[in-house]
Amino acid sequence: MAVPKPAIGGGEEHNHQIVKHLVELGEEVLVIAPQYPGDSEFDRDCGYPVVRVATTGGMAGKGKKWWMPYRRPLYGFSVISRMLQFKPDYIIVGTASRGLSMLASGIVSLLARIPRFVFVHHDEFTRPTPYSLLTNSIFRSSNLICVSNYTRSLVLDAGIPSRRTHVVFNGVDYQAISSFQNVRHHISHSQLESTFPDRMILTVCRLVRHKGIDRLIESLPIVLSKVPDAGLVVVGEGTERDRLETIAKNLGVDDRVKFLGRLTDAEKFLCFERCDLFAMPSRETHGPAREGFGIAFLEANAFGKPAIGGNAGGVPDAVVHNETGLLVDPNSIEDIANAIVRLLQNPCEAHRLGENGRRRVQNELNWNAVSRKVKDIIYADVNRGRI
C-alpha cells in the first residue's frame, strides 16, 4: 500500500520507485492509493496495478450529499475491504502521516495476522495526524523502515522498540538518468540552456521555508564578489517563491537568480548535467517541517556533481561530508557562501566529490539496490513468523 505519484514530492517518488522495483523483483503488488488529479494517466503507465479510493479531499467541493458526514469511515472501510480481497502476505504503508491509511491497514494487519511495514520519512513524528491517538498503539506493532538515521532517532525517542526499526536510505532512478545521458546529444534544449549562467549553482526542491533557499540567495553577494560569473538556478514551485524573488531583488542579485518553476524530468536532468554544483542548505525551522533525507542530493551525485547540504535532519546520510559533498551550517550565510566558493574555485575537488557520489549511487543508492534491501527486511520477518 502506498501513496504514489502523480502527487509531487520526495515521499511520493520514494513510494512509486519502491513499488515499481518490487514488481521487477518478482513481487505481486496491489497499490491502494488516494485519488489525485491526473491519476488515471499516471496509473496507465506506472507498471503496477493501482486501486484509487476517493479521499475526504476528493469528495469535498462536490455539493452536499447524504454520505458527506460518513466520508472518512467510508474511505477507511473501502481500504480495508480492498486489502482483505487481495489477501496479501504483507502490507506496506508508504507513510505513517496519513492517519486513515494507518488505521485501516493496522486493523487488517491485526485481524488477518499479516505483518505490516511502514516507511517513516520524518513528518510522521513532527506533525500530528488526526488519528494519532487511534494509530499510536497500532503504529507500535509495525515494522518501521526509516529513510535515515535521523528519522530512526525520532522513532526511538517516541519509545518504539529498536528491534522493530530498520534504516534503508533513499535512492535515485539511475537507469532513467543513464538513459537520458545516452540520448542527450540528440535532444535540443537551447531555450532552456540559454538561461544558464557560466558557473551554475543549482537547487531543485519544493520552495518551502525549511529547504533554506532564502539563505542560499542571501549568500550570493559574497559568492559573486569572489566568482563574478556565478549564478543560481532554482527548479521547483512552492509557497516561498514570491518571498524568495523579493529577497533576490532587495539584495540586487535578481539578475543572477533564475526561477524556472516546475520542469519535466528531461529538463531537470539537463540542469543537473549542466550545473557545477548542487546546493540545498536545509535547516530545522520553528515549524514541524525538516529534511528527512533529500533525494535531490543523490540525483546531483548521479550526474557526478558535488552536493552542498545543511548539517541538519537526515541530510548527513545523503551528503557524506568531504566525500560526496560538503555539509554547512544552514543558518550561516558565510558558511554557505564559503562552501560554494571553495568548490567553484577548486574544480578538481568538486570533480572528486562528484565522482565519489556517482559511485555511491551506482553501487548502493539506486532504487534497485534499495528495493532489494527492503525486500530482504520484509522476507526476514515474514519467514520468521512462519517458523
Q: pLDDT digit string (tens) for 341-352?
A: 999 999 999 999
Between 11-15, 220-224, 233-237, 371-375, the lowest mean confidence (pLDDT) is in: 11-15
Q: Is the pLDDT confidence value at 66 over 60? A: no
Place 160 in a pLDDT band, splitting at 50, 70 and 90: confident
295-302 vs 347-363: helix axis angle to the nearest 10? 110
Q: Is the pLDDT of residue 97 over 80?
A: no
| Separation between Cα atoms, residue 101 and residue 104, nearest integer Å | 5
Q: State the pLDDT confidence band at 102, using cuts at 50, 70 and 90.
A: confident
Of 280 and 140, more confident = 280
- Which pLDDT tens digit goes with each residue over 320-345? 999 999 999 999 999 999 999 999 99
pLDDT range class, residue 41, cuts 50, 70, 90: confident
Answer yes or no: is pLDDT of 382 > 70: yes
Question: Are the CB atoms for 330 and 212 separated by under 8 Å?
Answer: yes
Res 7: pLDDT: 52
Cα–Cα distance for residue pair 36/7, rounded to 1 Å: 7
Sign of the CA dihedral 225, 226, 230, 233? negative
Over residues 1-29, mean pLDDT: 78
Is the pLDDT at 252 greater than 90, yes or no?
yes
Residue 384: predicted pLDDT? 72
**What pLDDT digit, counting tens, does each position of 109-138 carry?**
888 888 999 998 877 666 555 445 445 555
Q: Which pTM was predicted?
A: 0.86
Structure confidence at residue 196 (pLDDT): 93
Burial string for 367-377 (b: 16+ CB within 10 Å, else e) reads bebbbebbbee
Domains and CATH numbers, the chain: 10-171+366-386 (3.40.50.2000), 174-363 (3.40.50.2000)
Q: Between vectors from CA 39 to CA 83 and to CA 88, what angle results, nearest 5°?
A: 15
